[in-house]
């Protein structure tokens, strides 16, 4: 499949800390198969932070969504909690909370979140983007 054709994958994951490793390894395989190995290190870090937040801060299932379109890789994590994510903290500040989204903000070209409501289900989608160029 040529690098310029769009594609999308969704990995549904249980509320289990081991899901972070599964998500990272799955993402590495997807990017390798699509010839985007140059993005894997940063993409894995971003996916791990997003999935980790979804698993650590919610009680329900989650999903990793990976999309490639027009030279941009979008990585997102859905979870069942409609509450907005905590604002990013500052990198280098000691503490357990807020560093994940600070890493996302520092490493991604763009990031954000949106509330979701569908078929009576509520939640949120936190995403980030990496440009290939």
pLDDT in tens, 60-88: 889 999 999 999 999 999 998 888 887 77
pLDDT band at residue 1 under the 50/70/90 scheme = very low
First-to-last C-alpha distance (Å) of the chain: 19
What are the tokens at 127? 């995403």
Strands 7-13 and 121-131: unpaired
DSSP annotation of 19: H
Question: What mean pLDDT do residues 98-118 have?
Answer: 88
pLDDT: is 9 or 17 the higher one?
9
pLDDT: is 94 or 31 the higher one?
31
Q: What is the value of pTM for the model shown?
A: 0.87
Bridge partners for 123 per DSSP: 116
Closest CA to 56 of 15, 85, 25: 15
């Amino acid at each position: 499949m040529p690098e310029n054709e769009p594609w999308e994958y969704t990995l549904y994951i249980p509320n289990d800390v081991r899901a972070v490793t599964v998500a990272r390894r799955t993402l590495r395989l997807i990017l390798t198969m699509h010839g985007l190995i140059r993005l894997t290190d940063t993409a894995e870090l971003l996916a791990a932070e997003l999935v980790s937040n979804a698993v650590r801060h919610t009680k329900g299932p989650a999903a990793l969504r990976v999309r490639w379109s027009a030279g941009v890789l979008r990585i997102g994590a859905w979870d069942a909690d409609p509450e907005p994510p905590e604002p990013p903290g500052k990198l280098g500040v000691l503490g357990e909370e807020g560093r994940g989204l600070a890493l996302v903000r520092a490493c991604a070209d763009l990031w954000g979140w949106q509330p979701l409501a569908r078929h009576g289900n509520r939640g949120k989608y936190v995403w980030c983007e990496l440009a290939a160029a």
